Structure 1
Amino acid sequence: MIRPLALAAMLLTAAPAFSQAADPAQGATAAAKDLDRAIAAMDAAKSSSDRIKALTQTIRAYEAGLTAMREGLRQASIREQTLSRELQARETEIAQLLGVLQSIGDQTSPGLLLHPDGPMGTARAGMILSDVTPALNTRAAELRGKLEEVTTLRQLQDNAADTLQTGLQAVQDARATLSKAVADRTDLPRRFTADPVKTALLIASSETLQGFASGLSEIAQNEAPGSLPDIAFRKGALPLPVQGRILRGYVEPDAAGITRPGLIIATRPRALVTTPAAATIRYRGPLLDYGNVMILEPQAGLLFILAGLDTVYGEPGQVLPSGAPVGLMGGSDPGIGEILSQVGDGAGTDRTETLYIETREMNAPVNPANWFHIDGQD
């Protein structure tokens, strides 16, 4: 039978140390706090004197907080699974280690000082004990730390459900409040009034986006002279109108080899879409096969075309400030169980909606990257 001290020495010399991965619990906790702050801000936004601006900012904050929380939980889930597999794989070694520690702890001091080989054996055993015990304590502390980390990570994932449920209800209420506030808005300046008959004729006669865009000036009545201030100094620095991930770049072919002169952004359901700069609404509504379209004119000769929205806000001719809401993406908010399932299995299927962004200068398409800052997108 192997003596406890000999077994301890074998475990310490033969078994590799546990991997030292970075602890993601702090990141997940910080993300949850960001989401909590966004939820609290939504209540304040509903009573703000400038409700549209406040609601827009807090809905965006919620979207950013939800993104951070998803990533934090994903990292926590990966870490928890890694630790669980590691501990399970070393189950036998851990049992032996705990047995050794228990055996040493159960023996009285006189017993430890006696050795069948006499005084020399007792001295050698004492030396081994003095060398091995600190290492055993270190391994035991390491094991205890990993078990505690697994428990913490699981608690984080369990507690996330309550935070997500509260946040989901809050953002749904905020979207409804925002939609009503936009519908009731009467303080926006108007540069022109759209002729509904001419608009209908232009839609019916247009076979391409370019053809429709070239006729936009024909549907405007009583248009004020001049243009909005030049934004050339912001070229390349404008924020994208929606939080998401670039799915396909400018004239990048899709699986069927079809190219489009714009960007396709993958977004989450019901994501908020906003103006990247102050702009006049040139058109909003269904168009060709693009779904609901919002065409913005930030300055003369420059158009930002946003296609694929589910809900659109505003009326043609209105001038929107920078960062104003122009609509919502389609789809429906996933349930809490679905969100946690996606986090747990690492699925990337939460971005189910797509927004198409086309930029036109003098009615010719240009790379949106010329105007938008697209590096490091979510």
Structure 2
Amino acid sequence: MSKRKIICGAVFGATLAAVTTAVWCFAGGAGLAAENSSPDSSSSSPAAANAGIDTKLKQREERLRELQGIEQSLQQSDAERQKIEDEIAALKADREKLRHDLVEAADKVRALEERASDAEERLAREVAQEKALQASLEGRRELIGHVLAALQRIGGKPPPAVIVSAQDILVAVRASMALGAVLPQLRDEARALAGDLADLVRLRNEIVAERDRLNSGLGELREGRTRLSALIDARQASVANNELALGEAAKHAAALAQRAKNLRDFLASLDSDIAQSEKRAAEDRKAAEALAISTQNSFTAASLKEPTRLSPKINFAEARGLLPLPVAGSIFRDFGEPDEVTGQARGVSLTTRPRAVVSSPIEGVIAHAGPFRGYGQLLIINAGNGYHIVLAGLGHIDVAAGQPVLAGEPIGEMGDGNLLTTEVAKATSAGPVLYVEFRKDGSAINPGPWWAKTDQRKVRG
């Protein structure tokens, strides 16, 4: 349903209420004084006229609250997005530092690995030298054993200095001479071998210890590098998650911003429509007041000329089931049916042929006859006892305000097309449409019980 249809429907009902209230107050003379009117009828006009505007104002308040909520959400979204961006920047900075630390750790590992390789090469050379010396010693083991045994014997039991024979002395001298010639060489060689063996043992122990230290350092560095890599992976995952969250936050913020823009545009359009509707409602109220004054003047003049003819002879309440339709046609929207304009139809809309004759369905007095904007030619018939019949959408009328009419008397004709420009029937028919509304004491009532049975069968198909 468009915004303008609601306003137009409300104003249409307000106008009919104003006009029929006025004629009901003034058409019956002393017997229909204004103080005997329904309490609701005097206030129905402004209330109905303002109904559409009040609806729009309420809708505006709801949309404004919604817009304020969206703007608050946008502020929160901006703050959250800034927080995520800061976290991403910090994580990226930490990631770069960690990468540099990892490079330094890798350099240290490589340096230690090179040192370990050099130490292993030195160890291999020393082991080879040790094996060569051990082989050399093994080859001279027998000679060295004899020499060492002889030295032990000489040192343990030296020969007597006097009680020896010459032969013994000669042997001893010769042995001493031989040992004296051999012993220094053996002693020097043994001393050198012992020093070499001691050096090899010392070097091997030092290299083994150095290898242990290197292996321990390499293990620690590998663990550190593993920790750094794991930390970088975790930070990278955190950056990726935050970037994903940032993207989602940006999408959410964009959607909120678009929704806020749509609401602002809608509120601007609604404000313009409310202003136009208020202006139109004011103009229609002024026109309705002028129409009521004109109708009052017409009744006053008519009562002075023919005071006895202002009260219909037929009791409208007793005419149930007897009234013909005012025009040959079909009802396409009956009283109380859903109406895209006002929610529920308060009258009957009849489709007719072009230029169809419109007749008064009952004896009465013309309370109003003339054009009224948006409704074509408007006729209101005073049927007495607070009953009025409203006919709208005529192309031409043949009666004047204050004129008595008989049941079935021609009072006008339809036009060539739909003259109801107020959206009452515009949305459903392009041909002539006659709008009929029965009112009792200023309130719309169902006209169905008054139609003759033949017309009811015609209406129901």
Give TM-score, length-normalised by structure 2: 0.32
Higher RCO structure (Cα 8 Å, ≥6 apart): 2
Greater helix fraction, Structure 1 or Structure 2: 2
Which structure has the larger Rg over C-alpha atoms?
A: 2
